[in-house]
Amino acid sequence: MVKKKPQSKRIKLARRYSIKRKIDNHNRKVRREARKNPKAANKPKKDPGIPNSFPFKEELLNQIELERQQKEEERLRNKAANQAEKRKRKKAAAKEAAKAAAGENTN
């Protein structure tokens, strides 16, 4: 069977310019909408943090730190468990491959 030649990536210039014109019009429209309605692009508000006048600021900061440490410990436990599981699967696959190779050699 004869191998097909790859299709050329050349496109007619009229097609290329029409695509460029459509892209430019779209970008123009997006900019116009952004000017008309600046609230449309909702930016997430930044967390202002805890004010110094907050009565239990230290306790709240300690609680946040404790939660962060617990999340990190949980992540490390999960990572270790996943690695152990991966090692088990790898050993099992190696045993299966060895068993299959031994079975082929006896035939």
Q: What is the mean pLDDT of each run of 10 residues along the chain (107 residues)?
A: 91 98 97 86 79 92 96 98 96 91 74
Domain annotation covers residue 32: yes
Q: Looking at the 3D structure of the chain, how many domains does it have?
A: 1
Domain annotation covers residue 9: no
Check residue 107 and give its pLDDT. Answer: 58
- C-alpha distances in angstroms, 50 versus 6, 46, 56? 62, 12, 10
Domain annotation covers residue 95: yes
Range of the domain at 21: 14-38+56-101
The two tokens of residue 46 are 């930044």
Domain annotation covers residue 5: no
Check residue 34 and give its pLDDT. Answer: 87
Domain annotation covers residue 51: no
Task: Compute the distance between CA of residue 29 and CA of residue 31 in angstroms, rounded to an integer.
Answer: 5
Domain annotation covers residue 46: no
Domain annotation covers residue 87: yes
- C-alpha distances in angstroms, 61 versus 4, 36, 52, 53, 102? 67, 42, 11, 14, 61
Task: Compute the distance between CA of residue 18 and CA of residue 13 in angstroms, rounded to an integer.
Answer: 8
